[in-house]
A and B are shown apart, each in its own frame.
Chain A
Amino acid sequence: MTVDFTTTPERELLTKAARGNRDAFGELVRRYEKKVLALSNRLCGNPEDGADAAQEAFVSAWQGLPRFRGEANFSTWLYRLTCNACTDSLRRRQRRDTHSGPSLNDEEARVELPDPAPSPQEAAERRELREEIRDALRQLSPEHRQVLILREIHQLSYGEIGEALSLDNGTVKSRIHRARENLRKILIERGTFPAANRLSKQERRAAYEQP
């Protein structure tokens, strides 16, 4: 008989799952699968490896739950496990690729860039920025990809990112900065972002009025 855990608070799910209750753990999986996959798909660069790594992360969580003390959030901890699983997956892929072709190093694949920046009109004809971002992310190093995804997709704070990746705040901040710079550079090189300041004064003002 399967108990319905859909309205059970997370704390209780964690307690039960730590003791071996698979139904409770199943509910945790359902609640977090999208978030974990969102991270793993992008860190691994494709949905197949992403799904494998996500599954691995959940299995690690199952095994580690009894020791999980809750100094961190469960989600932060789960993201950490996901990043680890993805790192493993990337290393395995590297080893595979080493045997079959040019090797990837930690700076990620050096993809051939398209021809030098086209005119703004041509850039507009290109694929949407969303797709560009997806491709551009693949060109970042794993370290940069990790922090940027956790920040921009999962909206983790610097502190939470630090917890997930075992980094101090300063390192988180500088990695995010370099990640943004690199991503921006890639987009400029692909012609998605015109190199020069392109926004009108009004747009710029709107941009810094928030966040």
Chain B
Amino acid sequence: MNSHDEYAALLDAFLDGELSEAEAEGVRVHLSECADCQAYVADALAMRDAFPDIEETVVPDGFAESVLASLPPRRVSWRGQWAKVVLPLAACAALVILLHGTAGRRVSDIASGGGAGTQKAVTTDADAGGAAFDNADTVPPQAPELYDVAESQAVQNATADKTEPDMIPFSMQSSGAEVPEEAEEESVSNGRAAPAAAKAIPDGYAVEEAFPDEAPATGVAPEEETKTAVVPGEGAATDAFPVGVSVPESVREEGAATVAEHSASAPRPDMNALLSGESETPESREIDETADLSSGAVSVWTLPAEALDLFDGYAPAEQTESGIWYALTPGEFDTLSQKLDELELEIVPGDDAPPPTARPGMEYVFVPL
């Protein structure tokens, strides 16, 4: 039997519905015997009753409008990566055009205006999305302009990005890196480093259209499917994971007629190794200590086709007619998951059998073509 003081300590929780039914019942019994506690509860309820109602709140006229008017432009920290993006871009674009006929289906789909959704041509500036593919000439001249911006920004942003632990640095494995339209847009500081413009996903692939309700900014869905809490990457992006980043809506909205071309980012992994020159090849990766090769378990996952970009620079484990298998250590898999979270792409346990070469302890991810 609890003492009076013990019950007295429970009164607020009782009032606030935080007790179990059994505990509440104990308090009720005590209240029937204790005048002091009764008085406390009665007064608390009277006060509660007299508290204002939310609905009575008077909202000043035009409040929402004045909030919207005072919103600063969303900071998009593309800058730190421009040096890596722009420098190979000219070469890349030329090469892509060269490869136009031979590169994968995607590139040609897109070049011919097919593919998913509305595709915009690749340019590095405000060319109204014409057939920039056909205009190899237009691309290089633009690049120098951006060099200037990139260089001036790259330095300040290189440091800025590093000082922000909660930013998500996306390494810029070049190929097909797209240069965002917003040269004027404010840079940095504690904005996200995240959309470090590696690749833009064109409207057709825009996550919100492809997966309208799947993975909210809250990243709930991927978490449910795959793993434990995703923490905004402190150093989440290792160089092993080039990342495709969706173009923030602000960029699109603000008339980025030149959301750069997804196709340029789609070349096969081996192409990327050629193009980027600075990508970390799988062979040069350090041994990932998280790989548990003794566990005997092979996990199989399936990604949407849009995720193919994430594996640029990465050698496939196995290529089939319908898609590509990639082998990831658990550490790499975690990194991938965080990227997917950012992009709101969904990874699901896979149905397909893993490749025969599958090693235990590795995660096998299938990306359909």
- Chain A residues packing against B (C-beta within 8 Å): 9, 11-12, 14-22, 25-26, 29-30, 33-35, 37-38, 41-42, 47, 51, 54-55, 58-59, 62-63, 65-71, 128-130, 132-134, 149, 151-154, 157-158, 173, 176-177, 180, 183-184, 187, 193, 197-199, 203-205, 207-211
Q: Which of B66, B74, B218 contacts A62 (CB 8 A)?
A: B74
Nearest B residue to A57 via CB reads B67
List A contacts of B230 (CB < 8 A).
69
- Asked, given contacts A33-B64, A38-B52, A67-B232, whether A15 binds B216 with beta carbons under 8 Å apart, the answer is yes
Interface string of B45-61 (1 = CB under 8 A from A): 11111111111011110
Q: A34-B55, A62-B71, A153-B52 given as contacts; is B43 within 8 A of A193 (CB)?
A: yes
Q: Which residues of A contact B31 (CB under 8 A)?
A: 204, 208
Inter-chain contacts of B216 with A (CB < 8 A): 11-12, 14-15, 70
A133 to B49, CA, bound (A): 10
Give chain B residues whose Cβ lies under 8 Å from the Cβ of A193: 43, 46
Inside 8 A of B47's CB, which chain A residues have their CB? 129, 133, 152, 180, 183-184, 187
In the complex, are the beta carbons of A152 and B51 less than 8 A apart? yes
| Given A14-B216, A55-B66, A25 contacting B71 (CB threshold 8 A) | yes
Decide: A65 near B71, CB < 8 A? Known: A19-B249, A211-B17. no
| B51:A51 contact, CB within 8 angstroms | no
Q: Is the interface of A mostly helix, strand, loop or mixed?
A: helix
Contact B57 A207 (CB under 8 A): no
Closest partner residue, chain B, to A73 (CB atom): B218
Q: Are A59 and B72 in contact (CB under 8 A)?
A: yes
Expressed in whole angstroms, the Cα–Cα distance for A131 and B212 within the complex equals 47
B13 at the interface (CB under 8 A from A): yes
CB distance from B96 to the nearest CB of A (A): 27
Are B14's CB and A211's CB within 8 A? Answer: yes
| A196 CB, nearest partner CB in chain B, Å | 8
- Decide if B39 is an interface residue (CB 8 Å cutoff): yes
